[in-house]
Structure 1
Amino acid sequence: MLTEIKTERLLLRRLREEDRENIVALQADPETNKFNPVPHTIEGAQELFDAWMKQWAEHGFGYLTVSTLDDPDEIAGFGGVRYHEWRGERVLNLAYRFWPFTWGKGYATEMAGAVVDWAEREVTDVPIIANIMVSNKPSIRVAERLGFKIHTEEEFEGEPSLHLRR
């Protein structure tokens, strides 16, 4: 079971119910949704949070909150891997979303790198993927820095989307 990961600058820990308000607000924030063809609503983000908590309960891992080691009480974002069905294949979906005040600091790459390393050690039989909108160049760069390569390009909700794998 995954409980927390510490990196050089970050503390990654499992989602808890008391994180709901912050994580739902982040997931539904218009600025963090600028690349989503259909932005998340508060209601939709609540449903996702419930699904992420269920992932933790059933599998002992999932998306994590991200804080800096300097300020572990302030959530900078969230991310991680969770089980997902993609085209009939069971995969680990890599995701990351951070508050705009943290952008440009390398936190997404640092967090995602640590999580991918953990997943490749602990969940060895399931491939890790990242599905990213073509317009979301910053997220694509994060995935590419971690060794992900474009596997397919498709449409998602009417917009071009990349499916990347390591």
Structure 2
Amino acid sequence: MDTGFTPLETERLLLRRLVPADREQAVAIQSDPRTYDFNRGAPDEAESVAKFESWLKDWEELGICYVAVIEREPESFVGLGGLQLREFGGEKILNLYYRFLPEVWGRGYATETSRAVIAWADEHLPQYPVQISVFIRNEPSLRVAQRLGFSTYSESFYAGSLTRHFRRD
């Protein structure tokens, strides 16, 4: 599927397709226990590498997946974010995701990244609803969903924790 994805620019960030050269930085973020404060434990390095490889495969096969989040000034890789085509409750959805270096938390990058990729999806993949799934103990991500104008769609248990799923009205 050709989605026509091209890099997105926000006021402070560049959002571009993940490439093999991003592996080391992406795996470091994914396997850092600090980035899993509100979620179940961080995956180990091998699991993080496998996840990264699956994201590259999605880019090749589907033309969409998570992006590298690059801070423009100074230029540096600060996180991952974006949308992945997944199935939820028998329906194809775009799962909104982000994970950042702890050093950049509190700067609003999750909201900024999310707004950009959602606007892109509204234009290029409007047939799929965008969904955010958040463990209810993850108050910062619950606030991001609220800032984005999402409301509760459903709740379920995942990995032993109550998870709230959000969509736009």
For Structure 1 versus Structure 2, the TM-score category normalised by the shorter chain is over 0.9
| 1:7 alignment partner in structure 2 | 10
Provide the rounded CA distance (Å) in 2 between the counterparts of 1:121 and 1:11: 19
Indicate conservation of the 8 Å contact 1:38/1:157, yes or no. Answer: no
Provide the rounded CA distance (Å) in 2 between the counterparts of 1:9 and 1:116: 17
Long gaps (5+) in structure 1 = none
Q: What are the superposed Cα offsets for residues 89-112 of structure 1, whole Å, 9 maximum, x if unpaired?
A: 111000000001100111110010
Long gaps (5+) in structure 2 = none
% same residue: 42
How many equivalent residue pairs? 165
| 1:102 alignment partner in structure 2 | 104
Displacement of 1:35: 1.4
1:25 to 25, 28, 43: 28
Q: TM-score under structure 2 normalisation?
A: 0.94
Provide the rounded CA distance (Å) in 1 between the counterparts of 2:90 and 2:47: 24
**Which letter does structure 2 place at the counterpart of 1:17?**
P
**Which letter does structure 1 place at the counterpart of 2:31?**
A
Displacement of 1:37: 2.0
2:49 to 46, 52, 69: 46
Indicate conservation of the 8 Å contact 2:33/2:41, yes or no. Answer: no
Indicate conservation of the 8 Å contact 2:64/2:85, yes or no. Answer: no
Q: What are the superposed Cα offsets for residues 76-131 of structure 1, whole Å, 9 maximum, x if unpaired?
A: 11100010011111110000000011001111100100000100110010111011
Moved over 2 A (4+): none
Provide the rounded CA distance (Å) in 2 between the counterparts of 1:71 and 1:14: 19
Q: TM-score under structure 1 normalisation?
A: 0.96
Displacement of 1:132: 0.7
Quote the RMSD (CA, aligned, Å): 1.0
Q: What are the superposed Cα offsets for residues 44-68 of structure 1, whole Å, 9 maximum, x if unpaired?
A: 1111111110111012222111112
